[in-house]
Chains A and B, each alone.
Chain A
Amino acid sequence: DIQMTQSPSSVSASVGDRVTITCRASQGLSNWLVWYQQMPGRAPKLLIYATSRLGSGVPSRFSGSGSGTDFTLTISSLQPEDFATYYCQQAYNFPLTFGGGTKVEI
């Protein structure tokens, strides 16, 4: 199974800050990396797929980059509605696996 390691596990930030979350895979994924945002008590929401492609309706302040084993999610200017938990997921092969999550807190 491919292990997905996210860092940091939590980050404290303020509105307007630039936030970067990293995700490392235990083997190469090509560009098969997905990011989700999850609010408390809600289902995850697709943010970015294929490493850097924005999901439908996702604001442009979110961006993704990387290749191989190292990937990054960047929020260029944090907004109040962005305080949530973020997960990376590899879509390269089965079993699909997720990172442990990064909680973005005020």
Chain B
Amino acid sequence: QVQLVQSGAELKEPGASVKVSCKASGFPFTDYNIYWLRQAPGQGLEWMGRITPTSGDTKYSQKFEGRVTMTRDTSINTVYMELTRLQSDDKAVYYCARSMAAAGTFDYWGQGTLVSVSS
């Protein structure tokens, strides 16, 4: 079955970076774009960007441009999202999600990774 399994919760200090992983299984990894989204506590959903596993091509939300980097390792069917210069308002649950052929429509999601930022 299709699964996206994310790495565990992180606690970071302000100014630090975090790298979250998302391991895919149950489908051809290189056939689907993977997106990253986040949800601050009690808030709605926010799109951060996407990566195309075949080429490594990325597209980022302008809000995160310069602070986010998405990469992939096709040998282990895993994508990564690194966010730098963390601030308190970056505290959120970060999700990876698979996009259907209809771009930007997410049919499978990871379980989420809570990133907390505190000194």
Q: Are B102 and A50 in contact (CB under 8 A)?
A: yes
Mark interface residues in A81-106 (1 if CB within 8 Å of B CB, else 0).
00000010101001111111100000
Closest to B45 in A: A98
Q: Are B107 and A46 in contact (CB under 8 A)?
A: yes
Kindly state whether residue B53 has any CB partner on chain A within 8 Å. no
Complex Cα distance A96/B110, Å?
A: 18
Q: Are A34 and B44 in contact (CB under 8 A)?
A: no
Complex Cα distance A55/B106, Å?
A: 10
Kindly state whether residue B32 has any CB partner on chain A within 8 Å. no
Q: Are A91 and B105 in contact (CB under 8 A)?
A: yes
Kindly state whether residue B46 has any CB partner on chain A within 8 Å. yes
Mark interface residues in B43-84 (1 if CB within 8 Å of A CB, else 0).
011110000000000010111000000000000000000000
Q: Are A49 and B102 in contact (CB under 8 A)?
A: yes
Chain A residues, CB < 8 A from B110: 43
B104 to chain A, nearest CB (A): 4
Q: Are B95 and A43 in contact (CB under 8 A)?
A: yes
Chain B residues, CB < 8 A from A55: 107
| Consensus secondary structure, chain A interface | loop
| Consensus secondary structure, chain B interface | loop
| Residue tally, chain B, CB below 8 Å to A | 22
Kindly state whether residue B111 has any CB partner on chain A within 8 Å. yes
Closest to B111 in A: A43
Known: A94-B59, A95-B61. A87 touches B103 (CB 8 A): no
Select one of A43, A87, A91, A95 contacting B44, CB under 8 A: A87
Interfacial residues, chain A to chain B (CB-CB below 8 A): 32, 34, 36, 43-46, 49-50, 55-56, 87, 89, 91, 94-101
9 contacts between A and B (CB under 8 A): A43-B97, A44-B45, A44-B109, A46-B106, A49-B105, A91-B103, A94-B61, A97-B47, A98-B44
What 10 additional pairs, Cβ within 8 angstroms, besides A91-B103, A94-B61?
A: A36-B45, A43-B97, A43-B109, A46-B107, A55-B107, A87-B44, A91-B102, A91-B104, A94-B59, A101-B44
